[in-house]
Structure 1
């Protein structure tokens, strides 16, 4: 799905230019010609970045930034303004804007900066993400709840630890010693049959046919691999 951009500018020519630049970067655009329209859109829709003019006629863009941050809306904001005083740029950044570009601007530079901000924001979101998603499976590391195709599957503590290990490292082959260390917290074998017991339990819960597993597969003579 394409990232969504909200373009807020009272100049129709600038709105159209920015729309073309964003579309050329495979981004989806929504346009607002004044502050009140922008605030209404931010109330009912989610965007990945806001391109914001300061002089909007009905209000200053600074007010929109203040409103967003006070409401806990952390969407990145790039100010694109004809006001090139140091005070304006410093004030905008102090309110929570992520960048400040003055008009006239080079379209290719704006496009590159927007992509860079989106990339950086996605990285930050991934770092703080508590939900691990692999194919049809998802696991909330905060609540320790596990889902397959959106439906919760109840797992025991050890099953959750084992499933979490697999989800964090899809495709990796785990030996018995590696599993003991990761799940039991020791590299000393607890029970030769313990791993097989928990593997079978997981298979009975997530596989279409536990006797012909396609997700938790055995690598003969080595261990197990998880395939989402």
Structure 2
């Protein structure tokens, strides 16, 4: 039986929408505000990056094709600065490689245009819940070898050094550590972290595993902690 999830109160959470199409931006503002979020809108990438730095929103909805600075550049800059708020990419490019590019840069989710407004709002709620700690087990700390996780504080250390992680990276790590030694399929990980109604691909899980290895493993090509079991999935190992 899986542990009971916490229910997060999302009212008053701040959302930054970076979108240059006025009709989409207005529609997102109206509908997000009707959900109880405090919404700020930017019409180009440079302004979006400036606002993300100054107001530190709880979540960003980020278009890719933007004037002045494209969305992937904004995403790259924010993650390079260690900013870990959830970022949902919006793009008219629905190809697999485009999705992979966004996820590998640290996006929490990727929604192709034209999109269902109800689905986008559901993904915003899911990402904010993950950021609020709704998707992790009600334990307080995990420690395996030199990897230490403070679940309540949502922080990770390796060999005593802090490791910056996005909300989803954190939840995938906790999912694996909670089941140390047990192999979890990609479907297992998806169901536990994203929920049963999320539409993603196995490649999405693979991307987050790659990101975790880059941050935790001394040699990501020879992982000690996050191990691949071919044809099955992943497990958290250690010494």
TM-score band by shorter chain is 0.5 to 0.7
> 1:123 is paired with a residue of what secondary structure?
coil
Query: How many residues in Structure 1 have an aligned counterpart in Structure 2?
Result: 130
In structure 2, the residue matched to 1:48 is 58
> 2:99 is paired with a residue of what secondary structure?
helix
Q: Does 1:121 align with 2:145?
A: no
String of CA shifts for 1:104-161, please: whole Å, max 9, x gaps. 111111111100110111007982428xxxxxxxxxxxxxxxxxxxxxxxxxxxxxxx
How high is the TM-score relative to the length of structure 1? 0.54
Which residues of 2 match residues 108-147 of structure 1 at below 5 A?
108-123=118-133, 127-129=151-153
String of CA shifts for 1:194-213, please: whole Å, max 9, x gaps. xxxxxxxxxxxxxxxxxxxx
In structure 2, the residue matched to 1:93 is 103
In structure 2, the residue matched to 1:71 is 81
In structure 2, the residue matched to 1:142 is none
Greater Rg, structure 1 or structure 2? Answer: 1
How high is the TM-score relative to the length of structure 2? 0.52
Higher relative contact order (CA 8 A, sep 6+): 2
In structure 2, the residue matched to 1:11 is 21
String of CA shifts for 1:23-49, please: whole Å, max 9, x gaps. 121111000000110111122111000
Tell whether the 8 Å contact from 1:83 to 1:102 is kept in structure 2 after alignment.
yes
Q: Does 1:80 align with 2:67?
A: no
Q: Does 1:31 align with 2:55?
A: no
Structure 1: 4+ residue segments shifted above 6 A: none
Alignment gaps of 5+ in structure 1: 131-228
String of CA shifts for 1:50-106, please: whole Å, max 9, x gaps. 000000021210001111111110010000111111111110000000000011111
Alignment gaps of 5+ in structure 2: 1-10, 137-149, 155-239
Which residues of 2 match residues 149-168 of structure 1 at below 5 A?
none
Tell whether the 8 Å contact from 1:21 to 1:108 is kept in structure 2 after alignment.
no
In structure 1, the residue matched to 2:211 is none
The whole-number CA distance in structure 2 between the counterparts of 1:70 and 1:18 is 27
Which residues of 2 match residues 191-210 of structure 1 at below 5 A?
none
The whole-number CA distance in structure 1 between the counterparts of 2:152 and 2:102 is 26
Higher relative helix content: 1
Tell whether the 8 Å contact from 1:54 to 1:81 is kept in structure 2 after alignment.
yes
The whole-number CA distance in structure 2 between the counterparts of 1:8 and 1:72 is 19
In structure 1, the residue matched to 2:113 is 103
